[in-house]
Amino acid sequence: MNDLAVATVRLRKTYQVPVRQSGIAASLRSLVRRTTRDVHAVDGLSLSIAPGEITGFLGPNGAGKTTTLKMLAGLLYPTSGEVTVLGHVPSRREPAFLRQITLVMGQRNQLQWDIPVADSFELNRTVYRVPAAAFRRTLDDLASLLDLGPLMMKPVRQLSLGERMKCEIAVALLHQPRILFLDEPTIGLDVTMQRRIRAFVAEYNRRHGATVLLTSHYMADVEALCKRVIVIHHGRLLFDGELSALVARFSTHKTIAIDLDGDAPDARAVLERIGEVVSIEDGHAVVRVPKSQTARATGEILATLPVADLSVEDPPVDDVIERVFASTRDATGDGDASHEGVAG
């Protein structure tokens, strides 16, 4: 496993959670003998990530994503199984390991709240013992990529959320880590700032060959950065492969977008016979049809309506991910309640 950036074999994290029962008698009994149950936040997870990959790590709330990242970063001890990151066992927290990784968690502070950003960066340089010359070069690159110049002398508490997230990412990369664990790095940011953060992550990967494991509820992050995705549910591996393969496997419908040439008063009626009309307005219509009927539906649209342009597309990735989780819930007959408040 030493030639892999990240490798886990049957990785498991189990918590013992108190079972709370109602009533005074049950409360008194719990003072003498507490009843607990096991909650498997991560349940036998095996995966491997090659150096330089940007991989999406997806799952609903409570799936075990954040718990997994914390074990990979050495913040949590696994209950059982094996895990190595760059050939190191993370839970040993060896300095040589810590110098090569970073963990960025959306809206979790690394910067010092009451001092200027530049001073927080200098403090981080001291912690990681980064030589002054290398620090200045890295900081110049980060400042250029993220437009940090106007922010450097501001106290952190005066920054907007978007400004602070840029600085949080920068301070996490000042020691030029080889592996980035990014847990919701764009959460709460506006669309423009999300794009800038995505562009920065892609450029950092290109320049330094860094490995990136990214969790996000924004599917635009995943589509822009990740060819490969790992999907987990209830702490177990559900899918591991290319994003395009996930779409092909779990999407049962295609989306047909039509631009009409001129008036077509009967367009809605025609499209409703063909499939599910998603929208129709100002000469533009979108209809969903079963994948197996795409060719027939396209031919009927072209033969029946005045079409200026037509395109056939896969459904949005977030729709596909939701379908994955829905199919799993249907198969198991439960939701995420057993993990709520334990696994991220």
DSSP 133-144: HHHHHHHHHHHH
Task: Reply yes or no on whether the pLDDT at 53 is more than 70.
Answer: yes
- Split into its structural domains, the chain has a count of 2
pLDDT for 226:
94
> Does one domain contain both 18 and 83?
yes
**Alpha carbons 89 and 97: distance in angstroms, whole number:** 8
The residue assigned the tokens 């998603």 is: 278
Note whether 68 and 138 are within 8 A (CB).
Answer: no
pLDDT for 344:
52
Query: Domain boundary at 229, 247, 265, which?
Result: 247
Q: Is residue 21 part of a domain?
A: yes
Between 101-105, 223-227, 245-249, 288-292, the lowest mean confidence (pLDDT) is in: 245-249
> Does one domain contain both 192 and 87?
yes
Position 325 confidence tier, pLDDT thresholds 50, 70, 90: confident
pLDDT for 343:
43
Q: Is residue 150 part of a domain?
A: no
pLDDT tens per residue across span 118-163: 999 999 999 899 999 999 999 998 888 888 999 999 999 999 888 8
Q: What letter would DSSP give residue 116?
A: B
Average model confidence (pLDDT) for the chain? 87
pLDDT for 62:
84
> Does one domain contain both 184 and 303?
no
CATH number, domain with residue 293: 3.30.70.1150
Q: Is residue 87 part of a domain?
A: yes
> Does one domain contain both 201 and 292?
no
> Does one domain contain both 291 and 278?
yes
Note whether 51 and 213 are within 8 A (CB).
Answer: no
Segment 4-26 mean pLDDT? 85
Q: Print the domain residue range for 70.
A: 6-100+177-247
**Alpha carbons 12 and 71: distance in angstroms, whole number:** 10
Pairing relationship of beta strands 54-58 and 211-215 according to DSSP bridges: parallel
Task: Give the 3-state secondary structure of residue 29.
Answer: helix
**Alpha carbons 3 and 84: distance in angstroms, whole number:** 10
> Does one domain contain both 239 and 281?
no
Task: Reply yes or no on whether the pLDDT at 200 is more than 50.
Answer: yes
> Does one domain contain both 13 and 89?
yes
**Alpha carbons 44 and 14: distance in angstroms, whole number:** 10
Q: Is residue 24 part of a domain?
A: yes
Which contiguous run of DSSP H or E holds residue 237?
strand 236-242
Task: Reply yes or no on whether the pLDDT at 5 is more than 80.
Answer: yes
Q: Is residue 153 part of a domain?
A: no
Q: Is residue 341 part of a domain?
A: no
> Does one domain contain both 280 and 184?
no
The residue assigned the tokens 């909650």 is: 39
Expressed in angstroms, the distance from the first to the final Cα of the chain is 26
Residue 283: burial class (beta carbons within 10 Å; 0-12, 13-18, 19+): middle
* 212-233 as b/e: b if 16+ CB within 10 A: bbbbbbbbbbbeebbebbbbbb
> Does one domain contain both 88 and 191?
yes
Which contiguous run of DSSP H or E holds residue 117?
helix 117-128
> Does one domain contain both 240 and 258?
no
pLDDT for 250:
78
**Alpha carbons 169 and 110: distance in angstroms, whole number:** 9
> Does one domain contain both 92 and 15?
yes
Quick check: pTM over 0.85?
Answer: no
Q: Is residue 51 part of a domain?
A: yes
Query: Domain boundary at 217, 247, 277, which?
Result: 247
80 vs 189, higher pLDDT? 80
Query: Domain boundary at 247, 262, 296, which?
Result: 247
Q: What is the DSSP string of 275-334?
A: SEEEEEETTEEEEEEEGGGHHHHHHHHHHHS-EEEEEEEPPPHHHHHHHHHHHHHHHHT-
Task: Reply yes or no on whether the pLDDT at 284 is more than 80.
Answer: yes
Q: Is residue 10 part of a domain?
A: yes
pLDDT for 20:
73
CATH number, domain with residue 223: 3.40.50.300
Position 336 confidence tier, pLDDT thresholds 50, 70, 90: very low
Query: Mutual orientation of helices 243-250 and 317-332 as an angle, nearest 10°?
Result: 60
> Does one domain contain both 181 and 94?
yes
